[in-house]
Structure 1
Amino acid sequence: MTVTDEVPTSHAGGAADTAGARVVAALSDDLDGGFAVLYEAYRGAVFSTALRLCGRWAEAEDLSAEAFLRAYRALCGYGPERIEALRPRAWLLTILANVWRNSLRSASRRPQAGPIEEAPDPPDPGEGVEDAAARRETGRELAALLARLPHDQRAAVVLRHVTDLPVAEIAAVLGMPEGTVKSHISRGLARLRVLRGAGRPGEEQKGGVR
């Protein structure tokens, strides 16, 4: 998929996005100045998503930088109407998801990277996986568990519980039906529960997976 194919457009009845409207207005007024506004508005969401997708700090920085570079190149080719139709957050995360997928294809040809070195303390052992995933910085434990999920499940769980996107927006970002997104989220969370329980004696028997 090319960058110019990656543009979710606005739709009637969608929730108001104040930040998105501000970014679109800035981009419409001046591309370079507007891109700086876009970067400041969404760099945190892009990096947090990248970190939980790949599980490594340095790689997340690379993925984020590449996503913003592709975004800028794409914007240089957009006319006023296309810029006005953007939903910036979903658009950026779509680009990021594609950059991440591309990185997975070449991962086997690269040396295995080490774990996150600057992550904070692990989540509370009694905390549910949904709550743990919802915290932007969740530590080594959850990063390692997320890395063991199938790619589609990992992306769906991260976008829902880290980036806090609604299901409809996740479906647009990942290019799949909403029902499939819901299934990936449900299965991914269930798998995380099993993986967490496997490290705690008796936990699997107590919690199980419904």
Structure 2
Amino acid sequence: MTDLRDALVADLDAGFADVVRTYQGVLLGTAMRLTGHRPAAEDLAAEAFLRAFRALRDYDAERIAALELRGWLVTVLLNEHRNTVRTATRRPALSGVAVPERATPDPGPADLATRTDPDLAAALARLPAVQREAVVLRHVADLDVAGVAAALGVGEGTARSHVSRGLARLRTLLTSPDRSAP
């Protein structure tokens, strides 16, 4: 993706539009698996892109040229998700406020990429946060183990362990006759 980095260096605004077009499906799919709720995932992905753009404004050309965009954007998304969860635990929830999802005439690529099996979504939600994040980063965002480790701020062995344990737990949750058991 050297072309994208070159475009960012040449013209941040136009280059970032290309970055959004290229990675919006990845970020939205990752956000869907993290949140399990389409409107929350859309908000999370949009906020991650906004934070990324703001950060890039302060980067010099050399730093932009050295970025591994996919991993960096997913890390920004993950950090934004953690901030959102942390903030939500500190503020009372609004009750009785229902916001309908917007209707779209035809499913787009992001919709197809983020459709989820309800059983899988429920099982993912039951994983410990670090295992869910590791599995989503590895198998939805398609980061390699080094990318997962960097995004989680852990060593590669620990990242491998989180992914492995998360997958094992998912298998157990999805194949157990009583799926409601913790």
Range class of TM-score, shorter chain: 0.7 to 0.9
1:71-129: CA deviation from partner (whole Å, max 9, x where unpaired): 11111111111111111111101100100111111233335899xx89xxxxxxxxxxx
Contact 2:32–2:114 (CA under 8 A) maintained in structure 1: no
The residue type paired with residue 72 of structure 1 is F
TM-score normalised over the length of structure 1: 0.72
2:88 to 95, 107, 113: 107
1:77 aligned to which of 25, 35, 58:
58
**Aligned pair partner of 2:163 in 185, 194, 199:** 185
- The Cα of 1:54 is off from its aligned counterpart by 1.0
Counterpart CA distance in 2 for 1:72 and 1:27 is: 10
- The code of the aligned residue for 2:162 comes to H
Who is 1:86 aligned against? 67
Secondary structure (helix, strand or coil) at the match of 2:160 reads: helix
Q: Does 1:195 align with 2:173?
A: yes
Counterpart of 2:166, as a letter, is G
Displacement of 1:179 in angstroms is 0.5
Which residue number corresponds to residue 141 of structure 2? Answer: 163
The alpha carbon displacement at 1:143 in A equals 1.2
Structure 2 distance, partners of 1:59, 1:70, is 16
Q: Which runs of 5+ in 2 are unaligned?
A: 103-112
In 1, the alpha carbon distance for the partners of 2:143 and 2:48 equals 18
Q: Once superposed, which parts of structure 1, at least 4 consecutive aligned residues long, lie more than 3 Å away?
A: 111-114
Gaps of 5+ in 1: 1-19, 119-134, 202-210
Indicate the residue corresponding to 1:174 in structure 2: 152
When normalised by structure 2's length, the TM-score is: 0.83
Moved more, 68-77 or 189-198: 189-198
Return the structure number with greater helix share: 2
Whether contact under 8 Å (2:28, 2:114) holds in the other structure is no
Q: Does 1:142 align with 2:126?
A: no
Question: In the comparison of the two structures, how many residue pairs are matched?
Answer: 165
- RMSD of aligned residue pairs (Cα, Å): 2.3
Identity %: 53
